[in-house]
Amino acid sequence: MDTLETIKRSEIIAIARGIKSEDLIPASLALYRAGIRAFEVTFEQDKPLVRTTESIVALIGSMPGDAVIGAGTVMTTDQVRAAFQAGARFIISPNTERSVIEETKRLGMASIPGAMTPTEIAAAYSYGADIVKVFPAGFLGAEYFKAIKAPLSHIPMAAVAGVTPDNIADFKKAGACAFGISSGVYLKDAVINHDLEAITSAAEEFYARIR
């Protein structure tokens, strides 16, 4: 199964932001048990690239083979290349940057840039995006998502940021092909305390609302 197919079948992309490897791996395995197969490790713009790339390498080495690991908050071509060298299979950004999209595709990874307006979404897709991340989805709302999806039905779109168990079904009905979720699945206290049952249950709750 290729990267995009895995993401779409997983539906949920678990977003790990600033989590230490020793906590990230057991938490991610707990999410895997709930059915999540796509995992994003984010870059921190004020931190060395190696902090993220080491986490990507560690996660790839610890997850079952049908899981796909990518990099998030990717804003430069240097970050794209660093993620690729670490083994990332997809690149997610908060914005639409043509050079980032084109470098991602040149290296054979899936591209998921962020956009908000119809103009940005169409531009991102024209630059080569595989899926466009509508961001921040929770703030914009499912009705907004539905409204922009109508004339842009040919563009696969993911709902990211502010997706909760209460609104995820609305975003799916509005046409979202995937959902990026961070603290809703990587529960802060549960991650730190290795409360793996709570983490698995959190992901199962999201799936229960959309299946």
C-alpha angle 80-101-89 in degrees, rounded to nearest 5: 50
Q: 183-191 — which CB contacts under 8 Å span 24+ positions?
A: 185/12, 185/14, 185/31, 185/36, 186/14, 186/15, 186/16, 186/17, 186/19, 186/27, 186/31, 190/27, 191/19, 191/23, 191/24, 191/27
Active-site hit among 11, 97, 103, 133: 133
Q: Decide if 67 contacts 37 (C-beta within 8 A).
A: yes
Region of residue 141 (phi > 0: left; psi between -120 and 50: alpha; otherwise: beta): left
User: Annotated catalytic, 205?
Assistant: no
For the packed helices 77-86 and 98-106, what is the interaxial angle rounded to 10 degrees? 30
Active site residue 40: yes
Helix H or strand E encompassing 157 = strand 157-160
List 11, 40, 97, 103, catalytic entry: 40
- The set of catalytic residues is 40, 133
